[in-house]
Amino acid sequence: MRYLYTFLFIFICSLFNPLAAQRRNYNGDTYNRLGVQAGVTHGGIDSDQFNTTKNTGFMAGLTTRANVYNNFLVVYGVNFYSMKTGIMGHALNSNKFENIDFKTTGVQLNLFAGHKIIKEHLSIEAGPVLQINSKWEVDNQFKDHLVEDYLFTAKDLEEVSRINLNLAAGLSAGIADVKFWVQYQYGLTNFLKNLSDGDLQNKDSRAANLEGHLGMATAGIVYYF
């Protein structure tokens, strides 16, 4: 999976190079900008089958901001992220429940349409996010823990869907070179679909229709070159 991340990073960087050159040649348009950003996330996977808890993570990457027509703009970029979702579980020989963190890392490619509310100082953006993520990773000490009252263990939930589609909406505020942004993402696809399509239901019939969707709020800062 790390080779895929590396390829995506190199590919996206190659896309940003023409924009950076355009920025150097046309300094009059402050909206053709290449930037680096970083932020804090809070969220996880929401599911009716599990009592999940949200956790804090991070996001960082490259982004562009390009003026299109009048007050309309386009924002696209690539971000690397890390996110944890908590689910209760217990050891095979114990009835004591404890929180198990299921961690996923990945890459998000976004393409947003935006509208400037107050020139370059305030704008709204929304659009799709293609997410390519790792499996759900669990600490070794919890891999054999039973999940809630199910008959399967934490390691049985590792092979989640690796490609997902989200919808995001957010707000950006600041000056031409530095902006603060807030955003919310909702998962349109079923993050747990790959588990239902597998043999997990052979261990517990209740796993036949597992469903979970991303719900994540993000806040961060971006610096434009």
pLDDT, mean of each 10-residue run, the chain (225 residues): 56 54 47 91 96 96 92 95 96 92 97 94 97 96 95 95 98 95 98 88 89 97 94
* pLDDT of amino acid 32: 82
**For residue 208, what pLDDT is reported?**
86
Could you tell me the pTM of the whole model?
0.84
CATH class of segment(s) 2-224: mainly beta
Cα–Cα distance, 180 to 194 (Å, whole number): 36
Q: Which of 84, 183, 88, 177 is nearest to 133 (CA)?
A: 84
Q: What is the pLDDT of residue 9?
A: 57
Q: What is the pLDDT of residue 182?
A: 98
* Tokens linked to 129: 């996010």
Q: Whole-angstrom Cα distance, residue 166 to residue 185?
A: 6
